[in-house]
């Protein structure tokens, strides 16, 4: 792209930063520019001074993301220290956007507030807001009070429930907006009971999901548009893993990518996978599921960036 003079910053601004080490799947090309702001004011000043034609992509901890092999055009913004604090005031939990979901749940529980549904969700609270993350029948939308954000023009705003259109695994946030803090309302609970519940959730997750593999969480949304509730009477008839199994795609491979044998809605980097392998396998799964069930699976993993000119590897076993 045409060389553009970049604004002065107090944080770190890096040219051609490789992103593969920052995604849980360990794939992806470089960002044209990679910005880690020192604080909210630094972020605001940067965006206000940045050429308005320059694309901006806010990136969390890369837990639900495939960065394509050609990398990302424009500026990738990633919040770090200074954006990960967690504070509890009454029934409100205020969390910096870079705070991990698990850490928010633990800090809340220690303070006698119930956000236990966040404990097993990978990623940061900013990403949880963007995806309306949920588990065990609870979603971010159920607890959302407000969020601070820096808009593409550098304006700092507070967004309330009326400003955020929540949907299943999605929100309609302003284009280019960077969430800096999220405030959630949480019911009271006994700290020991809340921590014990989270330990049980972790044990169940580790027994049923490939948590030791390189994954990005659930690959596809459930066809019916509902998350697992975790209840004993939970129906699996239209769960993504079930229709993937029915299509014969559990364990399917493409290059270094594989649909997990342990849980078939988890796409894993089994070793040396490219982003093209992973996305290509996902598209193959979608094709086979449509052929066998007539259902069109929708990606839950976000896929961004420029593809490489070469196609994905050949199908394996």
What are the pLDDT digits (tens) for 219-259?
999 886 554 444 454 555 689 999 999 999 999 999 999 99
Q: How does residue 137 score in pLDDT terms, banded at 50, 70 and 90?
A: confident
Distance CA 105, CA 234 (A): 24
Task: Specify whether the CB–CB gap between 46 and 4 falls below 8 A.
Answer: no
State yes or no: pLDDT of 134 exceeds 70.
Answer: yes
Q: What's the average model confidence in pLDDT over 201-228?
A: 86
* Average pLDDT score over the chain: 91
pLDDT of the residue at 107: 97
pLDDT of the residue at 53: 93
Q: What's the average model confidence in pLDDT over 293-307?
A: 95
- The two structure tokens encoding residue 299: 């990606």
DSSP 163-208: G-EEETTEEEPPTT-EEEEEEEE-EE--HHHHHHHHHHHHHHHHHH
Q: Which residues are catalytic?
A: 169, 218, 300
Who has greater pLDDT, 231 or 72? 72
State yes or no: pLDDT of 198 exceeds 50.
Answer: yes
Question: Which of 210, 212, 219 minimizes the C-alpha distance to 267?
Answer: 219
């Amino acid at each position: 792209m045409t060389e553009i003079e970049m604004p002065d910053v107090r944080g770190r601004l890096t040219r051609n930063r490789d992103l593969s080490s920052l995604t849980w799947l360990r794939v992806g090309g470089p960002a044209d520019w990679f910005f880690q702001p020192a604080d909210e004011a630094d972020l605001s000043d940067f965006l206000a001074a940045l050429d308005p034609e320059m694309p901006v992509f806010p990136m969390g901890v890369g837990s639900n993301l495939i960065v394509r092999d050609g990398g990302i055009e424009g500026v990738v913004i990633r919040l770090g220290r200074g954006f990960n604090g967690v504070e509890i005031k009454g029934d409100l939990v205020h969390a910096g956007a870079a705070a991990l979901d698990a850490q928010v749940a633990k800090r809340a529980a220690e303070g006698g507030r119930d956000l236990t549904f966040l404990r097993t969700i990978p990623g940061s609270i900013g990403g949880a807001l963007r995806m309306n993350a949920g588990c065990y029948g609870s979603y971010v939308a159920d607890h959302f009070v407000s969020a601070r954000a820096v808009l593409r023009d550098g304006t700092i705003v507070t967004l309330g429930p009326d400003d955020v259109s929540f949907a299943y695994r999605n929100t309609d946030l302003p284009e280019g907006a960077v969430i800096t803090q999220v405030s959630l309302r949480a019911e009271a609970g006994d700290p020991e009971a809340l921590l014990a519940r989270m330990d049980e959730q972790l044990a169940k997750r580790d027994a049923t999901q490939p948590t030791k593999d390189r994954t990005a969480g659930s690959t596809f949304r459930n066809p019916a548009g509902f998350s697992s509730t975790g209840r004993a009477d939970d129906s699996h008839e239209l769960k993504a893993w079930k229709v993937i199994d029915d299509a014969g795609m559990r364990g399917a491979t493409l290059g270094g990518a594989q649909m997990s044998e342990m849980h078939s809605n988890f796409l894993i980097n089994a070793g040396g996978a490219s982003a093209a392998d992973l996305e290509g396998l996902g598209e193959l799964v979608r094709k086979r599921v449509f052929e066998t069930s007539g259902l069109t699976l929708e990606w839950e993993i976000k896929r961004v960036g420029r593809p490489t000119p070469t196609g994905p590897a050949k199908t394996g076993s």
